[in-house]
Amino acid sequence: MIMACQPHVDGHYYYYYNNNVCLSNLGVGGGASRGSTVGASSYSKPLNKSSSPPLKLIRQSGGGGAVVMASSGCNNNNGNNSKKMKTESFLRHVESLASFPSGAGKISRLNAVILGEALSSEENDIVLPSDDFSRQALVPSPQKYLEMYKRSVEDPAGFWADIASEFYWKEKWGQRVCSENLDVRKGNVKIEWFKGGITNICYNCLDRNIEAGLGDKVAIYWEANDPGVDATLTYSQLLQQVCQLANYLKDIGVKKGDAVIIYLPMLMELPIAMLACARIGAVHSVVFAGFSSESLAQRIMDCKPKVVITSNAVKRGPKAIHLKDIVDAALDECAKSGISVDVCLTYENQSAMTRENTKWQDGRDIWWQDVVPKYPTKCEVEWVDAEDPLFLLYTSGSTGKPKGVLHTTGGYMVHTATTFKYAFDYKPSDVYWCTADCGWITGHSYVTYGPMLNGASVVVFEGAPTYPDSGRSWDIVDKYKVTIFYTAPTLVRSLMRDGNEYVTRYSRKSLRVLGSVGEPINPSAWRWFFNVVGDSRCPISDTWWQTETGGFMITPLPGAWPQKPGSATFPFFGVQPVIVDEKGVEIEGECSGYLCIKSSWPGAFRTLYGDHERYETTYFKPFPGYYFTGDGCSRDKDGYHWLTGRVDDVINVSGHRIGTAEVESALVSHPQCAEAAVVGVEHEVKGQGIYAFVTLVEGVPYSEELRKSLVLAVRKQIGAFAAPDKIHWAPGLPKTRSGKIMRRILRKIASRQLDELGDTSTLADPGVVDQLIALADC
């Protein structure tokens, strides 16, 4: 209960809140919104007993309760129309950073636990970093974060230039660190960082680390699909193999600026190929080795590569996938359109298929093992400008031509290295495992480039995380003593469904930081990840970012502040997120709306390959002056960010805008629901209805009573307006091999447009689609 508010000689007002002393600065921001610091004019009188000021907590040096502090900021319009600005503080989203003293225990209305204590199932639990973890953390406190963040947005050129100077540059960049225009009304959108700086990302990943004495450190621990098969490469060995492939590519005519398509599974040869391209200035385009021949052909025809690098086959679990056949079909399709590729370099993956059983076209197809090992183990570096292209990565989309997201070299290098270092609190002794495939942006930024720029030891896993059983991930964690584990909520929910026994049979004592990527993680999955996998002692870096952003944008920093299950928390250095309404007006305090970013960051993509107009139309025209993420976001009263899913995943039910992620989270909170996916369908009365695909916990039978119970769970957590109109039982959900749910297919099933399902070849289990269709009327 708030007892009183009294002015003090030091110019602050002290609130007495349940015997905790609360300190607030005067006159910060532009008014008394619920999620931002309030000035004296708002709380300069005794407060109603039912009032609850925002909790803003910092470590207290001793005794008593928690001290609440707000940090003032400064004006930073960044060229946007000032009438849109409702605050004078660019720190409005971090003013309410919270951190409790170790052992503070439960705070009124917030159940605080310290790392090492089991987390209960209450929605308002928060997890505090332990003193031991914070003491050794790179960012040990909110104060340190605020100090670094404030500089990163007040002086972005100085902040990022200092970090960039830690890398090798053949020539320094020009006088301007950054040049940008994000406002389509002022001309073409353009972003440049470190223009004129000459560098090479492969050199910084490998040569620089070897020169620093890390040549004998393991760069890659490779784990095959089949247990017991593995390999390692040190940084020196990795450089040698990269140079051999780079020399081969040069020998067949690949030069700076040429495109190379890489269609490989998670063999060591995949990061080797990426680094080899980067070394000679070629632009790699990795295509996930699960895409169909049609999808691969689209990408080949768009970027017209000099060479395609692939493998004859791969095993995913017990199943062999013939990759070379897919490439052959794609190249045949390209030939019909007049696009030819002279060389198809093929790695023989003997565990999946022998070369004798591989279809072959003489003159075009070349075995990797027959040519690459013959080349020298040293290769001169092709030095490139910071703004020269590094890679193309196509986002598939549900319709139309794939978008070729183009990332350049210098800014991407600095951004990915820095985000990896701080978001995972990286230490040189860490062994890091990201379960993502290099066919996605996560594999680019946080399997290959980010970790290796930091000289990390990385686990690369070829197989399926549930083969031969659901304990495989934790077997790998124990085998390599993995300390940082980064995965997707989809995998977390899948393993949660299979039961705790697959986790608890393994030690996992090496783990110290967990991470989540790809979609918002619902609080119940977050708690299971924290409680069961991390033994209630590992902070979770629940990262939000996109293919387009290149690296993390909103993410916890382990040890710096408390976490709320399911929240991405606060922005990374240099990132200025804003939440706007339909008219593009920034919304302050506790709110929901469209997530935009104002001002550029080093890792931002520069264009869509060959289609800059689409780049501007998609990302910058919806809200001029901002980068529009396409995501919805809520900010709570403490300033924490909660991603609510893609805006196109928002369902408008009788005028209520309902995020699919919010409904899915409510469904999964039901003890008998393992996973859920929600889509919108046409409704003759409400405009749109809510259609939920629900996967139950193993062994739980379908029943009408359970169906009603699931609907009731949503009604209780969100409201009657969000109750699903249809619960569709789902033995499984259609997912790509990386774990992404194909909602496009679910929408077609829900609307009974079964003749428009499209390509299902990228699914991990295409048979799921037939099962869902069969259960449509159950």
**Beta strand ranges found along 120-277 (DSSP E):** 125-128, 178-181, 190-193, 198-199, 218-223, 230-234, 259-263
Closest to 422 (Cα-Cα) out of 733, 34, 144: 144
Cβ-based neighbours of 677, under 8 Å, separated by 6 or more: 660, 664, 692, 693, 730, 733, 741, 743, 746
Strand intervals (E) in 34-81: 57-58, 67-68
Element (H, E) at 321: strand 319-321
Q: What is the rounded distance in angstroms from the CA atom of residue 222 to the CA atom of residue 462? A: 8
What lies within 8 Å, CB to CB, of 773 at 6+ separation is 749, 754
- 649 in catalytic set: no
| DSSP single-letter state for residue 534 | S
| Burial bucket for residue 212 (CB in 10 Å: 0-12, 13-18, 19+) | exposed
How many Cβ atoms sit within 10 Å of the Cβ of residue 304?
Answer: 13
Pairing of strands 384-385, 125-128: unpaired
Count Cα atoms within 13 angstroms, Cβ side, for 41: 7
- What angle in degrees, to the nearest 10, is found between the helix axes of 323-336 and 293-303? 50
Which residues, 6 or more positions from 617, have their beta carbon under 8 angstroms from its beta carbon?
none
Identity (one letter) of the amino acid at 623?
Answer: F
The rounded distance, in Å, linking the Cα atoms of 138 and 425 is: 6
Q: Do residues 602 and 589 make contact, with C-beta atoms less than 8 angstroms apart?
A: no
Contact 596, 630 (CB under 8 A): no
Strands (E), 396-522: 403-408, 431-434, 457-461, 484-487, 513-516
Cβ burial of 655 (10 Å; 0-12, 13-18, 19+) is exposed
3-state DSSP of 100-135: CCCCCCCECCEEEEECCCCCCCCCCEEEECCHHHHH
Q: Spell out the residues 6+ positions from residue 763 whose beta carbon is closer than 8 angstroms to its own.
A: 734, 735, 736, 737, 742, 745, 769
CA–CA separation, 180 and 599 (whole Å): 8
What is the rounded CA–CA span in Å between residue 697 and residue 499? 9
Q: How far apart are CA 385 and CA 399, in angstroms?
A: 35
91 and 133 Cβ atoms separated by less than 8 Å: no
Residue 347 · residue 265 · CB < 8 Å: no
Could you say which of 216, 648, 755, 777 is catalytic? 648
Residue type, 335: A
- Answer whether 119's CB lies under 8 Å from 113's CB: yes
Angle subtended at Cα 604 by Cα 609 and Cα 289, rounded to the nearest 5 degrees: 55
Compute the distance between CA of residue 476 and CA of residue 735 in angstroms, rounded to an integer. Answer: 23
d(CA 307, CA 251): 12
Alpha-carbon distance of 5 to 461, in angstroms, equals: 58
Catalytic residues: 648
